[in-house]
């Protein structure tokens, strides 16, 4: 916990409150304010396990959306359970949720709403969730429109733009044009060109979400915004797997920025 207010109010009390008694009163007031600020920050951090049920249900729905669940998609869900270090009870909950998401009558909208509520205003928590879903969407290569529609609906609910979603997919070596179709629906995902695997690795401009003719100021601003949103130190009490995903994304963002700097010749 930070004691910034405690120190500041103690100093104010010392100089304007007749010495030591004023400093003590000021420190007490500042300590109360520091505690209030700390409590507010803690309440803003989502409970780490609160996303397990809706996340795995959504993964099941994504896997089934094209009519069949592949072994690759099942393997991704199982690896995720292992990497997240789920306890036996949590693992059973994840499996049951994945199976529930595979059912024909499953509606993704309430589940996406649960994930949106869990993320709240924490965009730095939205990106790890999207990263997990993208992994399932791309499990078999170029995904069909049904999978992309669910992914875009989730991104829209979490206030992540198409450009940011394109950047996340670019980090996995896929190129995708969002087009101009509607967002957030359950139809064909709007107008888009299906993703394709990039043979040269992630496009650094797509990773930063900037045009190739962008000026230095625009590129630097995009880089600073992305690196602040994807920095793993901001994630709080999240599973180690999601922290590692954030670290990988931060590395991709730094690498993309360095490539662009070298290409354009600016510092």
DSSP per residue, 23-68: HHHHHHHHHHHHHHHHHHHHHHSPPGGGGHHHHHHHHHHHHHTTS-
Asked if 170 and 86 sit in the same domain, the reply is: yes
Contacting residues for 102 by C-beta, under 8 A, at least 6 apart: 60, 61, 63, 64, 69
Number of structural domains in the chain: 3
Please tell me the pTM assigned to this model.
0.60
With bands split at pLDDT 50, 70 and 90, how would you rate the model's confidence at 201?
low
Q: Please check whether residues 180 and 252 belong to one and the same domain.
A: no
Q: Are residues 80 and 167 in the same domain?
A: yes
Residues 213-264: tens digit of each pLDDT: 888 888 888 888 777 766 666 555 556 666 666 677 777 778 888 888 888 8
In the numeric block, which tokens belong to residue 261?
């700097």
Instruction: Please indicate, yes or no, if residue 107 is contained in any of the structural domains.
Output: yes
Query: What is d(CA 210, CA 118) in angstroms, rounded to the nearest whole number?
Result: 29
Looking up tokens 């600020």 gives: 37
Percent of the chain past pLDDT 90, that is, above it, reads 23
Does pLDDT of 186 surpass 60?
A: no
Q: Residue 211 falls within a domain, yes or no?
A: no
What is the per-residue pLDDT across 27-40, written as a single tens digit (0 to 9) for each? 677 666 656 554 44
- Do 163 and 226 reside in the same domain of the chain? no
191 pLDDT higher than 70: no
Q: What is the mean pLDDT of the chain?
A: 75
Indicate whether 29 and 104 sit together in one domain.
no
Per the structure block, which two tokens stand in for 7? 């120190």
Domain CATH for 256: 1.10.287
Last residue of a domain, one of 200, 227, 249: 200
Note whether 38 and 54 are same-domain residues: no
Going by pLDDT thresholds of 50, 70 and 90, the confidence category of residue 183 is very low
Indicate if 28 and 87 belong to the same structural domain: no
End-to-end Cα spacing for the chain = 36
Query: What are the pLDDT digits (tens) for 104-138?
Result: 999 999 999 999 988 887 777 788 888 889 989 98
Domain residue limits at 246: 216-264
CATH number of the domain to which 107 belongs: 1.10.3680.10
| Among the listed residues 222, 216, 169, 160, the one whose alpha carbon sits nearest the alpha carbon of residue 197 | 169
Query: Would you say 142 and 253 are in contact if contact means Cβ atoms under 8 Å apart?
Result: no
| 132 and 183 housed in the same domain | yes
**Shared-domain flag, residues 66 and 122:** yes
pLDDT value, residue 60? 95
Q: Verify that 57 and 134 share a domain, yes or no.
A: yes
Judge if 23 and 91 occupy the same domain: no
């Amino acid at each position: 916990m930070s004691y910034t207010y405690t120190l500041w109010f103690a100093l104010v009390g010392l100089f304007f409150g007749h010495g030591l008694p004023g400093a003590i009163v000021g420190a007490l007031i500042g300590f109360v304010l520091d505690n209030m600020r700390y409590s507010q920050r803690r309440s803003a951090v989502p409970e780490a396990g609160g996303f397990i049920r809706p996340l795995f249900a959504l993964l099941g729905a994504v896997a089934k959306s094209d009519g069949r669940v592949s072994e690759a998609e099942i393997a991704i869900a199982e690896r995720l359970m292992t990497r997240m270090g789920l306890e036996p009870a949590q693992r059973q909950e994840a499996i049951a949720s994945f199976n529930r998401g595979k059912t024909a009558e499953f509606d993704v909208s309430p589940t996406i709403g649960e994930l949106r509520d869990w993320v709240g205003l924490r965009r730095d928590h939205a990106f790890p969730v999207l990263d997990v879903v993208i992994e399932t969407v791309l499990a078999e290569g170029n995904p069909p429109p049904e999978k992309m529609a669910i992914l875009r609906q989730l991104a829209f609910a979490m206030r992540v733009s198409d450009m940011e979603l394109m950047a996340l997919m670019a980090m996995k070596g896929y190129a995708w044009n969002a087009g101009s179709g509607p967002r957030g629906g359950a139809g064909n995902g709007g107008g888009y060109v299906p993703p394709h695997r990039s043979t040269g690795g992630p496009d650094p401009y797509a990773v930063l979400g900037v045009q190739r003719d962008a000026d230095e100021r625009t590129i630097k601003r995009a880089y600073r915004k992305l690196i602040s949103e994807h920095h793993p130190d901001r994630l709080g009490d999240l599973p180690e797997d999601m922290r590692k995903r954030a670290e990988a994304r931060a590395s991709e963002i730094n690498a993309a920025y360095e490539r662009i700097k070298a290409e354009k010749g600016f510092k």
